[in-house]
Protein backbone atom coordinates (compact mmCIF):
# COMPACT_ATOMS: atom_id res chain seq x y z
CA UNK A 1 0.00 0.00 0.00
CA UNK A 2 1.08 3.61 -0.53
CA UNK A 3 0.85 4.65 3.13
CA UNK A 4 3.80 3.30 5.12
CA UNK A 5 1.83 2.68 8.30
CA UNK A 6 -0.71 0.56 6.39
CA UNK A 7 2.16 -1.85 5.69
CA UNK A 8 3.10 -2.05 9.38
CA UNK A 9 1.77 -5.09 11.25
CA UNK A 10 0.21 -3.27 14.19
CA UNK A 11 -0.04 -6.58 16.08
CA UNK A 12 3.76 -6.96 16.08
CA UNK A 13 4.69 -3.61 17.63
CA UNK A 14 5.15 -2.98 21.34
CA UNK A 15 4.31 0.57 22.38
CA UNK A 16 5.61 2.91 23.55
CA UNK A 17 8.25 3.47 20.90
CA UNK A 18 9.74 5.98 18.47
CA UNK A 19 10.63 4.73 15.00
CA UNK A 20 11.47 6.09 11.58
CA UNK A 21 8.27 5.78 9.56
CA UNK A 22 9.51 7.35 6.34
CA UNK A 23 12.42 9.27 4.84
CA UNK A 24 12.24 11.35 1.70
CA UNK A 25 15.09 12.98 -0.19
CA UNK A 26 13.64 15.96 -2.05
CA UNK A 27 14.83 16.96 -5.55
CA UNK A 28 17.09 19.70 -4.15
CA UNK A 29 18.71 17.15 -1.79
CA UNK A 30 16.89 18.11 1.39
CA UNK A 31 15.92 15.20 3.64
CA UNK A 32 12.61 14.89 5.50
CA UNK A 33 12.13 12.16 8.09
CA UNK A 34 8.81 11.19 9.64
CA UNK A 35 8.93 9.55 13.08
CA UNK A 36 6.15 7.42 14.55
CA UNK A 37 5.94 8.51 18.22
CA UNK A 38 3.65 5.81 19.59
CA UNK A 39 2.16 6.29 23.06
CA UNK A 40 -0.35 3.41 23.15
CA UNK A 41 -0.45 -0.18 22.00
CA UNK A 42 -2.49 -0.27 18.77
CA UNK A 43 -5.91 -1.92 19.05
CA UNK A 44 -5.46 -2.26 22.82
CA UNK A 45 -5.48 1.30 24.14
CA UNK A 46 -5.79 4.86 22.86
CA UNK A 47 -5.59 8.44 24.04
CA UNK A 48 -8.86 10.29 24.48
CA UNK A 49 -9.33 13.18 22.03
CA UNK A 50 -8.90 16.02 24.57
CA UNK A 51 -5.57 14.39 25.58
CA UNK A 52 -4.50 14.02 21.93
CA UNK A 53 -5.46 17.63 21.24
CA UNK A 54 -3.63 19.03 24.27
CA UNK A 55 -0.53 16.92 23.61
CA UNK A 56 -0.53 18.14 20.02
CA UNK A 57 -0.68 21.80 21.04
CA UNK A 58 1.79 21.56 23.93
CA UNK A 59 4.34 19.30 22.25
CA UNK A 60 4.18 21.19 18.94
CA UNK A 61 4.84 24.50 20.68
CA UNK A 62 7.60 23.30 23.01
CA UNK A 63 9.51 21.04 20.59
CA UNK A 64 10.34 24.08 18.48
CA UNK A 65 12.25 25.52 21.47
CA UNK A 66 14.67 22.60 21.13
CA UNK A 67 15.00 22.15 17.36
CA UNK A 68 14.76 24.37 14.33
CA UNK A 69 14.30 21.26 12.17
CA UNK A 70 10.70 20.59 13.23
CA UNK A 71 8.29 20.71 10.31
CA UNK A 72 5.21 19.24 11.98
CA UNK A 73 3.83 17.27 14.93
CA UNK A 74 0.51 15.65 14.02
CA UNK A 75 -1.82 13.21 15.76
CA UNK A 76 -2.66 9.81 14.30
CA UNK A 77 -6.33 9.29 13.60
CA UNK A 78 -6.24 6.06 15.60
CA UNK A 79 -5.38 8.13 18.68
CA UNK A 80 -2.40 5.95 19.63
CA UNK A 81 0.39 8.39 18.81
CA UNK A 82 1.77 11.17 16.67
CA UNK A 83 3.98 11.80 13.67
CA UNK A 84 6.99 14.06 14.16
CA UNK A 85 8.33 15.40 10.87
CA UNK A 86 11.91 16.72 10.87
CA UNK A 87 14.10 18.30 8.21
CA UNK A 88 17.70 17.15 7.95
CA UNK A 89 19.41 14.02 9.12
CA UNK A 90 19.33 13.00 12.78
CA UNK A 91 20.37 9.92 14.68
CA UNK A 92 17.60 8.02 16.42
CA UNK A 93 19.22 8.86 19.76
CA UNK A 94 19.01 12.60 18.95
CA UNK A 95 15.32 12.22 18.19
CA UNK A 96 14.69 10.18 21.33
CA UNK A 97 16.39 12.92 23.36
CA UNK A 98 14.31 15.59 21.60
CA UNK A 99 11.08 13.73 22.37
CA UNK A 100 12.14 13.17 25.99
CA UNK A 101 13.07 16.82 26.54
CA UNK A 102 9.81 18.00 25.00
CA UNK A 103 7.69 15.55 27.00
CA UNK A 104 9.37 16.90 30.15
CA UNK A 105 8.24 20.36 29.03
CA UNK A 106 4.70 19.02 28.62
CA UNK A 107 4.81 17.47 32.10
CA UNK A 108 5.91 20.83 33.57
CA UNK A 109 3.58 23.06 31.52
CA UNK A 110 1.23 25.46 33.26
CA UNK A 111 -1.17 25.73 30.32
CA UNK A 112 -2.01 24.29 26.93
CA UNK A 113 -0.71 26.79 24.36
CA UNK A 114 -3.32 28.38 22.08
CA UNK A 115 -6.24 26.62 23.79
CA UNK A 116 -8.66 29.43 23.09
CA UNK A 117 -11.29 30.29 20.49
CA UNK A 118 -9.02 32.73 18.66
CA UNK A 119 -6.16 30.25 18.05
CA UNK A 120 -7.88 26.84 18.11
CA UNK A 121 -10.72 25.31 16.12
CA UNK A 122 -12.12 23.32 19.05
CA UNK A 123 -10.89 25.14 22.16
CA UNK A 124 -13.30 23.33 24.48
CA UNK A 125 -11.57 20.00 23.79
CA UNK A 126 -8.44 20.23 25.95
CA UNK A 127 -7.05 18.74 29.14
CA UNK A 128 -3.66 19.82 30.45
CA UNK A 129 -3.84 17.20 33.22
CA UNK A 130 -4.56 14.45 30.68
CA UNK A 131 -1.69 15.53 28.43
CA UNK A 132 0.65 15.64 31.41
CA UNK A 133 -0.40 12.18 32.56
CA UNK A 134 0.22 10.78 29.06
CA UNK A 135 3.61 12.52 28.92
CA UNK A 136 4.63 11.13 32.32
CA UNK A 137 3.48 7.63 31.38
CA UNK A 138 5.52 7.79 28.17
CA UNK A 139 8.57 9.19 30.02
CA UNK A 140 8.40 6.40 32.61
CA UNK A 141 9.09 3.93 29.79
CA UNK A 142 11.88 5.92 28.11
CA UNK A 143 14.20 2.91 28.11
CA UNK A 144 11.81 1.04 25.77
CA UNK A 145 11.39 3.66 23.05
CA UNK A 146 14.05 2.34 20.66
CA UNK A 147 12.54 -1.16 20.58
CA UNK A 148 9.59 -1.26 18.21
CA UNK A 149 8.64 -4.95 18.46
CA UNK A 150 8.34 -7.20 21.47
Domain 4-144 maps to which CATH number in 3.90.226.10, 3.60.9.10, 2.60.120.380, 3.30.1360.80? Answer: 3.30.1360.80
Residues facing residue 17 across a β-bridge: 38
- DSSP secondary structure letters along 99-126: HHHHHHHHHH-SS-TT-STTT-TTTTS-
Runs of H (alpha helix) within 43-91: 49-63
Q: Where are the domains of the chain?
A: 4-144
- Quick: pLDDT tens for 36-79: 999 999 999 999 999 999 999 999 999 999 999 999 999 999 99
Mean pLDDT of 9-27: 97
* Cis previous bond, 68, omega within 30: no
Give residue-wise pLDDT tens across range 68-115: 999 999 999 999 999 999 999 999 999 999 999 999 999 999 999 999
Please state the length of the chain.
Answer: 150
Given a cut of 90, whether residue 150 has pLDDT beyond it is no
For residue 66, what pLDDT is reported?
98
Q: 3-state class of 3 per DSSP?
A: coil
65: three-class secondary structure by DSSP? coil
Amino acid sequence: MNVESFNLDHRAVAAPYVRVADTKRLPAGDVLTKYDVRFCQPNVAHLEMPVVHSLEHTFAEHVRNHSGDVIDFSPMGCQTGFYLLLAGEHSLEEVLDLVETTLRDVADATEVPAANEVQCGWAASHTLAGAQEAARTMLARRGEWAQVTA
